[in-house]
Structure 1
Amino acid sequence: MATVASAVLVLDSGEPEQLALFYGALLGGEVEYNPKADRFEVTAASGARLGFRRDTGFAPPSWPRPDDSQQTHLELLVPDGDLDAAERAAVTHGARPVDTQHGGNPDLRLYCDPAGHTFTLRAG
């Protein structure tokens, strides 16, 4: 029997509400403040949950960093054929392209969110 019921990936940010609104718009999710956890949370229609916590000393990650290239990133799954529309939505909401060619794989595109966390849009 599992003792853990669910999981929430929590990203630090200097502006957690702004970051929650970005991912809420991108995922079509509900944005709420959770006073018990002192963070903003997004719950997508799919059930995926993300949290955003204030870190007053937050420094955006850099990609790639030769000394520490394995950083956590989000992989957002997009239905086949909808990658271009997802890319437009991500950029419209404030994402910055990092590598839209992603090694020549047409099914992957890499971005930074408004706080500098990397995420991938992946078809499939």
Structure 2
Amino acid sequence: MTVAKRSVLVLDCSEPEALAEFYANLLGAEVRRCPDPDYVEVVGHDGVRLAIRRDHGYAPPSWPRPDDSQQAHLHIRVAAADMDEAEREAVGLGARPVEAKESGSARDVRTYADPAGHSFILMAEPEG
């Protein structure tokens, strides 16, 4: 018998409250504070679960520079018709575009860094 498990992606940063607020606003989720002041969870209504942990020696990933990997990144899927609006929302919340691609292409993928430097992409959901 397999023991029931639940996974959560944990991002390190220097200011977990601020980064949790960024992702909660971006994903339409809520911030759940934990007894540990260095750990915050972001929980969405459709099962999204993300945790943010304070790393007192945090240094952001240097990706896309070749001297460091991107470590991990999030894919946030969006309806193709909503990509431009999703981009405006992300940038308005503090995301920084990393790689610009022409919108409206068959595979619309846009790369950003969150306020702590982690990479994420907005990706158009395939129609069908």
Structure 1, 27-36 or 60-69: larger mean CA deviation: 60-69
Runs of 5+ unmatched residues, structure 1: none
Other structure's SS at 1:82 match: helix
Q: Counterpart in 2 of 1:121?
A: 122
Q: Counterpart in 2 of 1:30?
A: 30
CA spacing shift, 1:83–1:64, aligned 2, 3 Å: same
**Corresponding residue pairs, total:** 123
Give the letter for the 2:65 counterpart: R
Residue 60 in 1 paired to residue 72 in 2? no
TM-score by length of 1: 0.89
TM-score by length of 2: 0.86
Identity %, equivalent residues:
55
Give the letter for the 2:74 counterpart: L
CA spacing shift, 1:109–1:2, aligned 2, 3 Å: farther
Other structure's SS at 1:23 match: helix
Tell me the C-alpha RMSD between the 2 structures.
2.0
Other structure's SS at 2:84 match: helix
How many angstroms does 1:5 deviate by? 2.2
How many angstroms does 1:19 deviate by? 0.2
Which has the greater radius of gyration? 2
Give the letter for the 1:6 counterpart: R
Give the letter for the 1:25 counterpart: N
How many angstroms does 1:28 deviate by? 0.4
Superposed CA deviations along residues 67-101 of structure 1, whole A, max 9, x for unmatched, are 44453111111122111111011000000000021
Runs of 5+ unmatched residues, structure 2: none
Structure 1, 48-57 or 59-68: larger mean CA deviation: 59-68
